[in-house]
Structure 1
């Protein structure tokens, strides 16, 4: 039996993600929690015929911790998309001020009620919210570095699609799924697209730079296209689903899977990580191997071009600052 819980299930990411997970046969029980509307979302999804048990939970008031306790108990996976979406002119720093408190309070409940669950954090800014989660779990004495993930999969989806676009769709995104990835962080130029042998297809720096910029700032493109009335919700839900679906193979079937996520690298087994990363930051998004117990290994991509190395070094400095913000939010002191 596998139970998955979504905290923030009635939001712009939470609802489509709930729909996708409702259709996933690997999940036996789906628990939906949010401060509003979750009972309705659950009722709607319950009309889709699957053998899965589904229930929505809404707290009675701000002091009600019993409802989230029931929602979380027995969870194998907790997915957290809770928080406000990014609006026009809003930076990820602006997001941090609001979403940091939301993530901290939710993680506190996760640590108390299902400390052994795999925790997938979507709430932005991931570069800071993951350290918040880690430090809060440490305060509770239940932190497991193998089971906390910042979901950066949307950067990979964008790279696959945008690179296919740049190649005039001569290469399918399915082929690119196994050959390209993003590392670094999950905001702006902390994102480092690694396109391996596909570099040879770019005969000028302008088209390559355009691709890199579009991957790094794809979120801005969606916010602008939605005219300030939304952000990247459907694509983010799809990205989160891809990660969770793979994670379920490890949890339910004990398969060894490969993924990419933003994790605390200094407390995990690593392979060939450059000194310039390990010296300056405790967190980074990198390829990981996962089994039923969690993260087995964190690796560095086999080959980077000179430009990709420079972008990675820049990303290290950006991530370091963002991590400090998250750490300071929990502890009120500098790293």
Structure 2
């Protein structure tokens, strides 16, 4: 029995994400929550012939507490989408309060759940959730994840495009490390499971790297003010949630990049800090998943000189993003 909960289930990411989770046979109970329209979304999904029983709640009548009770996995896509000209940092001012309030509900009603944060900017919202959990004495770094899977999905797709064969995309693995915004997104193309062409130039590698880093901008521009990367993000969120559920059920050997607290596994976290040369609290790296969440954090491995410069460029921005999230909760206490 696995209960999955989506907070922000009526939004642009939330609805397709909820559909994908309803379609997943590993999910036996699906709880939906949003400030509007959730009962309708739940009624619609409940007609689909898959095992999960679906319920939807609004804020009235303690809906947040009701939907979270008994949750095993909580996915948070709640927040406003990015608009043209808006950076992920701009989103922080709007989404930080939303995430803080939802994290408070989780801390009170589902403190043992695995929490998967999609709400942007992930580099800051994950620390917000952690600080709220610390305030309530329920913080377990092994159970908190920033979902960076979309960067991995884009990297696999774009490499397949370079190879001229999209049918290869599902089997291509490209580690993407660092964080989940702009310069903090570091695709390790040298470690792609599918080698790039022998004549692939350094300029082409830089262009591909930039496309992966700023793929979200590509979607925002193409939607021309009508939204951001909702469908691809929902797909990526569902993919990562399934990996968490499979690990929760005892499957071993599952490794996926995620933005995690490096104390989630102190030994491997310390090794990664030494590898990157900075004492960060959070970093996105390949993570081995287990029944308790983070089992270990994998090393970055051999980097090319260009990839090393990308990691070095990401570190100060990551520190700034992390500090912003922590400071938001510190200031809220004043």
Whether 1:18 and 2:14 are equivalent positions in the alignment is no
1:107 alignment counterpart: 103
Alignment of 1:210-221 (within 5 A): 210-221=207-218
Quote the Cα distance in structure 2 between the aligned partners of 1:55 and 1:285.
33
Of 83, 91, 98, 2:79 maps to 83
Quote the Cα distance in structure 2 between the aligned partners of 1:208 and 1:279.
26
Please say if residues 147 and 294 of structure 1, whose CA atoms lie closer than 8 Å, have aligned partners that are also in contact: yes
Unmatched 5+ stretches in structure 2: none
Structure 1 pair 5/166, CA: closer, same or farther in 2 (3 Å)?
same
Quote the Cα distance in structure 2 between the aligned partners of 1:140 and 1:202.
55
- What are the superposed Cα offsets for residues 63-111 of structure 1, whole Å, 9 maximum, x if unpaired? x5x1110100000000000000000011111100000000000000000
Runs of 4+ in 1 over 4 A off after TM superposition: none
- CA apart distance, 1:202: 5.0
- CA apart distance, 1:267: 4.3
Alignment of 1:187-266 (within 5 A): 187-196=181-190, 198=195, 201=198, 203-266=200-263
Unmatched 5+ stretches in structure 1: none
Quote the Cα distance in structure 1 between the aligned partners of 2:296 and 2:85.
38
Whether 1:2 and 2:2 are equivalent positions in the alignment is yes
Please say if residues 120 and 149 of structure 1, whose CA atoms lie closer than 8 Å, have aligned partners that are also in contact: yes
- CA apart distance, 1:300: 1.6
- What are the superposed Cα offsets for residues 122-161 of structure 1, whole Å, 9 maximum, x if unpaired? 0000000000000110000000000000000000000001
Compare 247-256 and 9-18 and name the one that shifted more: 247-256
- CA apart distance, 1:2: 0.9
2:58 alignment counterpart: 58
Q: What TM-score do you get using the length of structure 1 for normalisation?
A: 0.94
1:275 alignment counterpart: 274
Quote the Cα distance in structure 2 between the aligned partners of 1:270 and 1:160.
30
Quote the Cα distance in structure 2 between the aligned partners of 1:243 and 1:232.
16
Quote the Cα distance in structure 2 between the aligned partners of 1:258 and 1:276.
19
Of 66, 70, 85, 2:66 maps to 70
